[in-house]
Structure 1
Amino acid sequence: MRFLARSLTGLFLAALTLGLLAIGASLIAGALSERLSTERPAQPARERVFSANVQTVTPGVLTPQTVAFGEIRSRRTLELRAPRGGRVLEIADGVEDGATVTQGQVLVRLDPADATSARDLAQAGVSEAEAEVRDGDRGLLLARDDLAAADAQANLRRQALTRQEDLLARGVGSAAAVETAALALSSAEQATLSRRSALAQAEARVDQAASGLTRARIALAEAERALDDTVIRASFTGRLNGVTVVAGGLVGANERLAELIDPDRLEVSFRLSTAQFSRLLDDQGSLIAAPVAVSLDVLGAEIAAVGRVDRVGAAVGEGATGRLIYAALDAARGFRPGDFVTVAIAEPEVAGVALLPATAVDSTGGILVVGAEDRLEVQVVPVLRRQGDDVIVDVRGIAGREVVVERSPLLGAGIRINPIRPGSTATDASPDARAQVQPAALTETIQLTPERRAGLIAFVEGNARMPDEAKARMLEQLAQDQVPAQVVTRLEDRMGG
C-alpha cells in the first residue's frame, strides 16, 4: 500500500510540473507575439557620404609627349674590306672589337710583293713611253728640216726653169734646156711631197708616243694605288666592331675585315603611328624639328640624351605600319648602336588644357564635378592625349571647378561627398560628417626607394609557390613609380615571416 501511495504522489508531481511548464511556455509565446505585433515609429534613414580626393582644374598650356621605343644607330658607319686579295702581313696593335682608332691610323698591312713588282713594271713602261716621246720629237724635227731642204731645192729648180724660159724667149736658149729644167722642177716637187708625207708620219708618231705615255702613266697610277691598298687605314676616328682578320691569313678581294663606327654621331630610329606622326607636321605638311629625350635604364641607373627629329623614312616598308622617324642625338654619351631605348617626343604646345590622372576620366570622357552641397555632377570633356597614368583634357568648359581625381563604383551623379582637397584629410570634417563618411574604394600608393624596390622584386621572383600570372602582375606593379601600399605591406609581411 505504501508503494502505491508513493507512486501516485510521484505521478501527481510530474503532471503538475508539466502543466506549469506549459503555462510558462504559453505566457512567453504570447508576450513575444504581442511584442512583435506592436508597431513602432520608423526612424529616418541617414544619407551616406563618401570621401573623395578632388582637384581644382585650371586651364593652362601643356606640351604633350609621345612615348615610343627605338633603336640607337650610328650616322656614320664604314665597313673595312680588303680592296685586293692577299696575305695579311701585319695587324696593328689594338685592332680588336671595341678598340678606338684615330683617323689615318694604319690597321692592317697586306703582303706588298706582288703590288711592288707591278708598280716597278709600270714605272719601266712609263720610262719607255717617255723615251718614245723623245724619239718622236727628234724624228719630227728632222722631218721638218728635210721638208725645208726639199722646198729650197724646188725653189731653185723653179728659178732655173724661169731663167731657161726667159733665154728661150730672147732667142739665146733652147727648148731642150727648158724641158730639162721643167723635169728637174718636177723631180724637186716630188721630193717635197715625199718630205711632207714623212713629216705627217713623224707627227703621227709623236701623237702615238704621247698616247702611249698617258697609258703608261695610268698603269703606273693603278699600280701605285694597288700598292697603297695593301695598307688599310682608318677613314675617321671611331670604334672597331666585328674584327675577323688574323695575322698570316689569306683574304679575298672585297672580303669584310671589320666595321668602323663613329660613336659621336648617333641617332635613334623609332616608329610612330600615322596619327602620332600627323601631330609632328606643320601647316605646310613638313616635319618639325621636335625635341626628343632618349633614356636607357641600366640596372637602376638611367642613361639619358636629348636631340631633335631629323627626318622620316621615305617608305612605310613591307609588313610595317606607321612612319619610321629618325632623330639626331646631341652628346649621346654612354649609348651604343643597337641599344633599345625609350624615346619621349615633345609635341607642339596645347592651350586651354589640364593634366588629370587617368582614374578621373571614364571610357567615354566623363568626369565627376563637385556641384552645390558637395554633390557630384557628370561632365563630358574632350580627351586630347593619354600619357601613361595621366590624361590631357580640354577643361575650358569646367574652368575653376573641382573634379574627383579617383573614381570608384560608389561615386556617381547626385552622390554627396566629403571633398578631400590637396593639403587636407578626411579627418578635417566635422564630427557629425565623419560619422556619416564611408571610405570610397580608393587605393593608396607610395614611392619606393631603389633598394626597397629591388628587395621586393627579388622576393617575388624567388617565390616558387606564386602562380606565373600573379607573379607577372606583381612585378608590373612593382615596376611603376607609385606602388599600391597594400601590395607592399603584404609582401613585406611575408618577407618578415
Structure 2
Amino acid sequence: MGTIARTGAGLAIGGVSLALLLSAVGVIHDAWSDRVGSAGKTKQPRERSYSVNVATLTVETVAPIITAYGHLESGRTLELRAAVAGKLVSLSEDFRDGGVVEAGDLLFAIDPARLETAFALAETDVAEAVAAKAEAESALELARLEAEASREQLELRQQAAERQQGLRERGVATEADVEAATLSRAAAAQTLLNRQQVVAGDEARLAQAEIALQRKTIALEEGRRDLSEAEHRALFAGVVSDVTAIEGRLVSVNEQLGVLIDTGALEVAFRVTSNQYARLLNDQGAMRKADVEVLVQRGRSTTTVPARLDRAGAEREEGQIGRLVYARLTDPDPNFVQQGDFVTVRIPERPLEGVATVPASAVTTYGKILLIGDDNRLEEYQATLLRHQGDEIIVGDVPFGRQFVEVRALQLGPGIQVTPIVPAPESASFTAPIAPATSDTVALDDDRRAAIIAFIEASEQMKPEKREQWLAELAQPEVPRATVERFEAKIAEGQ
C-alpha cells in the first residue's frame, strides 16, 4: 500500500512539471512570433542629416605673413670707461641706471689737480725746448758766417799763390815766395774745413733741438688731452645702464663705469626657419628691404611700430636652427620701447596668385577638405597646403567655385549627407548664431546643456554680446540641432 502511494505521488509531480514546461514553451513561442511580426512591420529609420557651415572656394591673390618673435636691442651701445685715473669728484644726476641723457651732457668728472700739474710741467718743458732750439739756430747761423769768411780767405790765398807762381816763371819772384804763398793757401783750406765741421755739428744740434721740441709738444698735447678727458660727456643721446660709479671713489684707467644705449638706433633681432628666410630674399639672393610690423604689447593693448628689414646674422649659432634676422625700427619712441622688450614681428612675403584662403578648422593635417557634392553628400578632396596664417590656411590646387565645410567635426566624413548653411558675410566662428529651421530642434538633458554652456562661458574669442545670444538660445527648452552639433563638435576638437 505504501509503495503504490509513493508511485502515484511521483507520477502526479511529473505530470505537473511537464504541464509547466509545455506552458513555458508556448509563452516563448507566442513572444517570438509577436516580435518577428512586429519587426516586419517596423519602418526603417530616416537617414540623419547634419547641418554644417559652408563657404565657396574663391580664387585670390594673397600676400602671406611670416610671424616671428624676437627682442629689441640697440644697434649702438657704448661702454663708459674712465680715460684717466683719479678720484671721481662729480657725477651727473642722470648718470644712473635708466637715466636719459642728451648728446654733450656731462656724465662724470675726475679730479683734475694732478693732470693740471702735469700739463703745466709739459708747458714748461716745451718752452725750454723752444729756447734750446733758438740757441741752436743762432749758433748754426754764426758757424755758417764763419765758414763763408773762411771760404773767401781760401779764395784770396789761392789767387796769391797763383800770382807768385806766375812771377817765378818770369824770374821776378823767388822760390821761397812761391812756397810761402802755397803754405798760406793750405792753412786757409784747413781753416775752412774746420768751420764746415762746426756748421755740421751745429746743424745736428739744431735737429736734436727740433726733435726734443716735438717730443715736448707731444707730451703737452697728451697732458691737454688727459686734462680734457677728466670730464666725460655723452657722445650721443640715450639711456644709461649698468652704472657702478660713486662720487668720491678712486677709478683706474679704462675702468668701466656704465653703459650708454642709443635708443634712437633700436632694432629687433628675431629668428626664422631656413624656408622662411628663403622667402625674404629677392631674385638676386639678397635680403629684401621690406617694411615689417613690430607688435609691442603693453597689458591688454597692442601697439604696432614700423620697422624695415636690415640684415641677417653673419654666422649660425651653435644649437640654434634657422637664421637670425635684424630689422631696424623707424623713429622709435624711447619712452615706449626699450632694449630687451619681447616683441612679435610680422613680415610680408611676396604675393601668391591663384590660391584660396580657408579656415584652419576646415583642413586636416594632411591637407584634406570636405566638399559638398551631389545630393548634399560630402566628398573629400586633397588640397596643397601653402601657408598657415593664424586661424586660416592658404591652399592651392583646389576646385574653385565649389562649396566646402568650414568646420570638420568628428561625425563628418565622405558620403555623409549634410544640410549646407551659408553664414552671413560678417559672421565667423563665434560671431552670430545661425537660425536653423524651427522644426529641427532637440531637447537637451541637463548634462549636455551644462557642458555646452560651460564651453561658451570659458571661450575668450567670443564677443560678449554674442555670448549672451548663445546662452539665451540654450536657455530654451528645445535648442536648434545645428547649434548643439556645432558646439559639441568644438568640444570634441578641444578634447
TM-score under structure 1 normalisation? 0.80
User: After the TM superposition, which of the residue ranges 341-350 and 181-190 deviates more from structure 2?
Assistant: 341-350
In structure 1, what is the equivalent of residue 405 of structure 2?
404
Query: Distance between the aligned counterparts of 2:487 and 2:245, measured in 1?
Result: 57
Q: How many angstroms does 1:127 deviate by?
A: 0.9
CA pair 33-100 structure 1, distance change in 2 beyond 3 A: closer
Query: Distance between the aligned counterparts of 1:446 and 1:113, measured in 2?
Result: 68
Deviations 1:430-461 (A, max 9, x none): 95xx489x99x9987674579x99xxxxxxxx
In structure 1, what is the equivalent of residue 420 of structure 2?
419
Contact between 2:296 and 2:305, CA under 8 Å: does it hold in 1?
A: no
CA pair 259-426 structure 1, distance change in 2 beyond 3 A: closer
Contact between 1:101 and 1:234, CA under 8 Å: does it hold in 2?
A: yes
In structure 2, what is the equivalent of residue 478 of structure 1?
none
Percent identical residues:
38
Residue 170 of structure 2 corresponds to residue 186 of structure 1: no
Residue 93 of structure 2 corresponds to residue 93 of structure 1: yes
The SS at the match of 2:162 is helix
Q: How many angstroms does 1:388 deviate by?
A: 2.5
Query: Distance between the aligned counterparts of 2:164 and 2:184, measured in 1?
Result: 12
Matching residue's letter, 2:281: L
Deviations 1:324-344 (A, max 9, x none): 111111133211001111122
Matching residue's letter, 1:356: V
Query: Distance between the aligned counterparts of 1:449 and 1:46, measured in 2?
Result: 37
Matching residue's letter, 1:400: G
The SS at the match of 2:263 is coil
Contact between 2:423 and 2:434, CA under 8 Å: does it hold in 1?
A: no
Hey, which bits of structure 1, 4+ residues long, moved more than 4 A? 24-34, 424-431, 441-446
In structure 1, what is the equivalent of residue 337 of structure 2?
335
* 2:387 equivalent among 385, 388, 396: 385
How is 1:81-160 mapped onto 2 (pairs within 5 angstroms)? 81-160=81-160
Deviations 1:1-49 (A, max 9, x none): xxxxxxxxxxxxxxxxxxxxxxx99998887566335354342331111
RMSD: 3.2
Q: How many angstroms does 1:224 deviate by?
A: 0.9
Q: How many angstroms does 1:213 deviate by?
A: 1.2
How is 1:185-334 mapped onto 2 (pairs within 5 angstroms)? 185-333=185-333, 334=336
The SS at the match of 1:38 is helix
In structure 1, what is the equivalent of residue 50 of structure 2?
50
Contact between 1:297 and 1:303, CA under 8 Å: does it hold in 2?
A: yes
Matching residue's letter, 1:355: T
The SS at the match of 2:46 is coil
TM-score under structure 2 normalisation? 0.80
In structure 2, what is the equivalent of residue 35 of structure 1?
34
Matching residue's letter, 2:177: A
The SS at the match of 2:198 is helix
The SS at the match of 2:316 is coil
How is 1:363-374 mapped onto 2 (pairs within 5 angstroms)? 363-374=365-376
CA pair 221-149 structure 1, distance change in 2 beyond 3 A: same
Query: Distance between the aligned counterparts of 1:33 and 1:355, measured in 2?
Result: 59
In structure 1, what is the equivalent of residue 479 of structure 2?
none
Matching residue's letter, 1:216: K
Deviations 1:242-288 (A, max 9, x none): 22111111111111111111112110001111122111122222111
CA pair 393-27 structure 1, distance change in 2 beyond 3 A: closer
Contact between 2:294 and 2:343, CA under 8 Å: does it hold in 1?
A: yes
Q: How many angstroms does 1:134 deviate by?
A: 1.0
Query: Distance between the aligned counterparts of 1:119 and 1:485, measured in 2?
Result: 85
How is 1:438-477 mapped onto 2 (pairs within 5 angstroms)? 447=461
CA pair 412-305 structure 1, distance change in 2 beyond 3 A: same
CA pair 147-34 structure 1, distance change in 2 beyond 3 A: closer
Q: How many residues are matched?
A: 431
Contact between 1:153 and 1:188, CA under 8 Å: does it hold in 2?
A: yes
Deviations 1:75-102 (A, max 9, x none): 1111110012210011123322222211
Which blocks of at least 5 consecutive residues in structure 2 are unaligned? 1-22, 428-432, 468-485
In structure 2, what is the equivalent of residue 346 of structure 1?
348
Q: How many angstroms does 1:68 deviate by?
A: 1.6
Matching residue's letter, 1:347: E
CA pair 66-98 structure 1, distance change in 2 beyond 3 A: same
Q: How many angstroms does 1:296 deviate by?
A: 2.4
Contact between 2:54 and 2:405, CA under 8 Å: does it hold in 1?
A: yes
Matching residue's letter, 1:176: A
Query: Distance between the aligned counterparts of 1:101 and 1:197, measured in 2?
Result: 65
Q: How many angstroms does 1:416 deviate by?
A: 1.4
Query: Distance between the aligned counterparts of 2:175 and 2:24, measured in 1?
Result: 193
The SS at the match of 1:98 is coil
Deviations 1:466-491 (A, max 9, x none): xxxxxxxxxxxxxxxxxx989xx9xx
Contact between 1:51 and 1:426, CA under 8 Å: does it hold in 2?
A: no
Which blocks of at least 5 consecutive residues in structure 1 are unaligned? 1-23, 454-483, 490-497
Contact between 1:359 and 1:406, CA under 8 Å: does it hold in 2?
A: yes
Query: Distance between the aligned counterparts of 2:354 and 2:212, measured in 1?
Result: 81
In structure 2, what is the equivalent of residue 495 of structure 1?
none
